[in-house]
Amino acid sequence: MFHSTPLLPQVPIYGFIGGVPETFGGRTSACLQRANAFAELDKRNIEILTLSPAHAVDPEGLTARLRSEGRIGNRVAIRNIWADLRRADDSQLQTITGQHRIKTSASRGEGLLPYEGNPESVRLSDSGKKLQTDRFRDDGSRFLSYRIDAHTSDNPGGKTVTLYSHNETAIGRWSEQHDLYFAWIDWVIGDTRAVLINDGPPLAKYMHKYRRDTVVFVQTIHSRHSSAPDSPHGALSPTYLPTLKHMEQFDRVAVLTQAQHDDLTRLHFGADNLVTLPNMFVADPPKKRADRPAGSGVMLARLSHQKRIHHAIQAVFHARADGLTQATLDVYGMDDDASEHLKTLIVDQGLDGIVTLRGYVPHAKQQFEHASFTLLTSEYEGQPLVLLEAMAAGCIPIAYDIAYGPADIITDGVDGFLVKAGDIEALGARIQQLTQMTDREIRKMRKAAMKRAQDFRPSVITSRWGKTLQDALDSKVPVAVPRGRAELSSISTDARDIHLSVLISGKEVEHPDWAMLVWEQRRGIGFGRTPATARQVKGGSLVEGSIPLDILSRQMDKNVDFWIDLGVQGNPLRLRIKGVKREEAVSSAQGIRFYGTKYGSLSADLVTDDES
């Protein structure tokens, strides 16, 4: 199954994710499978770096559990920041602190929490908000204290992260916890060239700042980015908003399907760093089995409303309604927000004993070898790994044609069926159609499904990763933060657009590679970009572009701020548009007022009835 020829760049490659919970879904599975395939194919050791305090005491135990479950092999290990810090000796801790080393230690006992026999002690506010966490070694000595209420004249934000030696002397201090994460990652990687692949979307809110000359950082997107992903009018996903806002800060952003790549490109998220790298899957060849009952269905999905399992239940009801098929469905997945509703629906539809909720089973994918078909009814996906697992076992997929994934995997009528999203009766009709096909037709479709799944085997997808990572390493430019200023030159509106001209000044930004107009909702998820042109003028470059009013008005809540994004010799730069007098109303259109903030920056808000 695995090749001996290296498919990956010969530099260290690290996985990165927040944590690995007891039960987990597709994103964590994809992270583990990728790491394991990389390790086995290149016969190298791969570490997956984690930040969860749940792994602080025994990451080796987690590694052993994942190995025993067949999730990873002996070449892959889980590594955790808190475990490393609590075990590091003083010399190692001094190296980690680097430029954040404290030269004169503060009082050892000031504001610290007592050791209570647990790995951490916590202090809460009256409302239950966590104000302080102190972490301890096995011997009871403190190695870290994190506070968010340490307000002083030189620290108005109140956050402090302090690292302690074995005699509890404060030796390092940071104002943000993610800066400690960065120091730890630097220590783990060292000075060598390396690759870091992040599968935790929430981590992007600060990991976009982790830019190093020697490290290629890849951010992944595992699901749809918007409620209407092919349209600028959709609401952006809060999960992936930090990634979308900072696409150029990453060396590469990997999506799972070409359809999503194309949609993001049309929306002007990302530039040359956006790549398509599908999920891979590892499956043993299915055992030789007698033909399975044509009406036996199995579904793997957590019991959440987003998975729309109630559609699958109703589809089975429709398929059985005229008595032409005796279709059944077993659903494997952990309880979630739809659990009680689904149990009630099964009884109401008279499907008790026909549709069965089996709960979470670690190796549930083995059930695909016994079932004739599987259903996928989600509202959205990234690229459903569950489809590949089913097809590899010869289990025929019947899937809603949603964004994203099913249409990139299934050829309708050849290796599975695609159904218009939300059409429950059509879903039921496909179940019925399958059960009425001849044995020869079903065997042909099963073989086609198994053949299609092989296009996503580890060696194929790892080869694609290898080419992408080598290209990223070869094209890596020294990290720089160019300096410049963006000042409003003119603004006007017509029936459709806002037209902006912005003067970019500063020697380092005189010749930008590209330019974008950017708008961002100050409190909310509204965010977008549109291309702009840049031409040389006296005093700098004039960036000109237009923002469609209908897109902006749909994203307005209260305040929207305006920026310029530039590419400068391979480095991204975002500049706030300045040059507007405080509270000066510079223009208005369709209920939107453009004005200057107290810092002279261009913003907009909704015009109230009193102002109109």
Cβ atoms of residues 554 and 524 within 8 Å: no
Q: How far apart are CA 555 and CA 206, in angstroms?
A: 24
Return phi, psi of residue 114, to 5°: -75, 155
Cβ atoms of residues 221 and 243 within 8 Å: yes
Cβ atoms of residues 52 and 80 within 8 Å: yes
Q: Give the pLDDT confidence score for residue 20 in this predicted structure.
A: 94
pTM of the model: 0.89
User: What are the chain's domains?
Assistant: 13-84+181-276 (3.40.50.2000), 98-178 (no CATH), 296-452 (3.40.50.2000), 485-606 (2.60.40)
Return phi, psi of residue 450, to 5°: -65, -40
Q: What is the dihedral of CA 454, 457, 462, 463, to 10 degrees?
A: -30
352 has which bridge partners? Answer: 355
Return the biggest CA–CA distance within the chain: 82
500: part of which helix (H) or strand (E)? strand 497-505
Which residue, chain included where needed, has tokens 């060696």? 459
Cβ atoms of residues 584 and 596 within 8 Å: yes
422: part of which helix (H) or strand (E)? none
The count of C-alpha atoms lying within 13 angstroms of the C-alpha of 387, restricted to the half-sphere facing its C-beta, is 31
Amino acid at 463: S
Q: Token digits for 153?
A: 């004249």
What secondary structure letter does DSSP report for 132? E
Is the C-alpha dihedral spanning 492, 498, 499, 500 positive or negative? Answer: positive
Q: Give the pLDDT confidence score for residue 170 in this predicted structure.
A: 95
Question: Which H, E and C letters describe 74-99, residue by residue?
Answer: CCEEEEEHHHHHHHCCHHHHHHHHHH
Q: Give the pLDDT confidence score for residue 552 in this predicted structure.
A: 84
Q: How far apart are CA 191 and CA 117, in angstroms?
A: 37
113-139 pLDDT per residue, tens: 999 999 999 999 999 999 999 999 999
Q: Give the pLDDT confidence score for residue 605 in this predicted structure.
A: 87
Buried/exposed code over 64-81 (b: 16+ C-beta within 10 A; e: otherwise): eebeeeebbeebbbbbbb
Q: Token digits for 314?
A: 């109703």
Report, as ranges of residue numbers, the positions in the chain whose pLDDT lies below 70: 1-4, 103-110, 153-154, 284-290, 556, 583-590, 607-612
Q: Give the pLDDT confidence score for residue 139 in this predicted structure.
A: 96
The CB density around residue 202, as the number of other CB atoms within 10 Å, is 14
| First-residue to last-residue Cα distance in the chain | 69
Q: Give the pLDDT confidence score for residue 602 in this predicted structure.
A: 95
Helix/strand/coil for 497: strand
Q: Give the pLDDT confidence score for residue 108 in this predicted structure.
A: 45
The CB density around residue 533, as the number of other CB atoms within 10 Å, is 11
Q: Give the pLDDT confidence score for residue 608 in this predicted structure.
A: 55
